[in-house]
Amino acid sequence: MRIRAFTIFFLLFLAVSSYGQEIDLPTDPLNGRIVFEEKKCIGCHAIGGYGGTAGPDLSREQYFGSVLELASIIWNHTPQMNRKFRQLRMDRPKLTENEMLDLLGFLYYLRYLGEPGSVANGKRLLDSKGCITCHSVAGQGGKVGPDFKTIQRYSAPLYMVQAMWNHGPAMQEQIKKGKTKYPILTGQDMVDVAAYLRQVSSADVEVRMSVGNPKKGRVLFEQKSCSNCHVGEGKRKRIESGLIKIDLKKGVTEVASAMWNHGQAMLQYMQQASIHWPRFQGNEMADIIAYIYFLGFEDHEGSDRRGGRVFGEKGCNSCHVKGGEGKGPDLASLKKLDSPVRMIQLMWNHAGDMEDLLITQNKRWPELSPEEMRDLYAYLRKMSKE
């Protein structure tokens, strides 16, 4: 019933303009790696042990925040970073808006890049999750599904997820016959299973999926009919109409697992709504997961009223004065501020001079919480020129 309603609403709401902005998505999260090196971040920050040691190794932290949450982290570290810049006699790199976006995308993606799987745990999981009741490894095990030794190619966990997803309905057909329960995968399970399957496979073609292009994923989200039941970004009206908002602030592996784990329920819904089970090929699964992953980039709306107060309390108005009489420009003359990434880019670029000025005035660095960043953004956006 609910699903019928979805479909009708979907058609209805195609006609209604959507609410909320599109998120800025990086095209390839790995571009950020290039910027990271070009701008010499790598000189102070290691990634997975490789790189400088003046700042923290950034692959140790998890950065799953929205753009403005990440912005807040970087902003608050400005004084410590600047001290190092001065010590090492380095120039503070200036960033363009695209470079900033790429860097934020890269930080967000870091954790995903180096997840090693445990082969031993993968082997155990095949048993405990019941895969082995249907599948065999070199002849040992069930005969319902293909033998993992003979599977032609996979190595990357996402490639395995794609294969599993595509075979989802057939697997579920067997599960209905009472073979075993639907295998739920949590935490690192997916990666561990992939590591094991990779080892037992006799295939010599190693297939790697590229990290996924979230912009392509956005298109696929429509094409593969996910948008019949889900909303990605914004579009509040469509959420109100009953579409399910995907809001997973999680790592790539967990996103992939969530999609798999809900496969059984989704298949039912799809059958009721006469939607064909969407299949993925090439890099598509990586793309769509990258898109879902980057949905966590979206910020909720701040309040321009509170933002105005933040602007005063944090001393921004001591330099940014109406009419431009202060040390900094009148921000009302700013070109229309239409993306949070541009705000953090402008703020990053001026953080060096700003700190120098604050030091001469013997003032503290104004830290900004994520909430304050959002409010500030709402305020500056409203204030900036149309």
Q: Minimum Å distance from CB 241 to ligand HEC?
A: 14
Non-local (6+) Cβ contacts of 138 within 8 A are 147, 149, 200
DSSP letter string, 203-225: --PPP------HHHHHHHHHHTT
Question: In whole angstroms, what is the distance from residue 154 CA to residue 204 CA?
Answer: 10
Q: Give strand pairing partners of 339.
A: none
Residue from the set 47, 68, 158, 163 that interacts with ligand HEC by CB under 6 A: 163
**Antiparallel, parallel or unpaired: β 244-245 and 230-231:** parallel
Nearer to ligand HEC, 121 or 225 (CB): 225
Measured between alpha carbons, how far is residue 149 from residues 45, 153, 162, 170, 196 in Å? 41, 10, 18, 20, 11
207 contributes a contact to ligand HEC by CB under 6 A: no
133 contributes a contact to ligand HEC by CB under 6 A: yes
Nearer to ligand HEC, 27 or 227 (CB): 227
Q: Minimum Å distance from CB 113 to ligand HEC?
A: 16
Which two structure tokens, joined as six digits, stand for 331?
């921000």
Residues touching ligand HEC, count (CB under 6 A): 88
Q: What is the dihedral of CA 44, 45, 47, 49, to 10 degrees?
A: 70
Q: Minimum Å distance from CB 196 to ligand HEC?
A: 9
Residue from the set 113, 137, 207, 319 that interacts with ligand HEC by CB under 6 A: 319
Site for ligand HEC in 34-53 (CB under 6 A): 39-41, 43-45
Nearer to ligand HEC, 33 or 320 (CB): 320
Which two structure tokens, joined as six digits, stand for 287?
């793309």
Beta strands in 92-213 (DSSP E): 136-137, 140-141
Residue from the set 110, 164, 209, 344 that interacts with ligand HEC by CB under 6 A: 164
20 contributes a contact to ligand HEC by CB under 6 A: no
Residue from the set 4, 276, 322, 327 that interacts with ligand HEC by CB under 6 A: 327
Which two structure tokens, joined as six digits, stand for 265?
């329920």
Non-local (6+) Cβ contacts of 136 within 8 A are 142, 143, 147, 148, 149
Q: Minimum Å distance from CB 386 to ligand HEC?
A: 16
203 contributes a contact to ligand HEC by CB under 6 A: no
Nearer to ligand HEC, 22 or 37 (CB): 37
Site for ligand HEC in 223-252 (CB under 6 A): 224-226, 228-230, 244, 246, 248
Site for ligand HEC in 71-130 (CB under 6 A): 73-74, 77, 80-81, 84-85, 88, 90, 93, 103, 107, 129-130
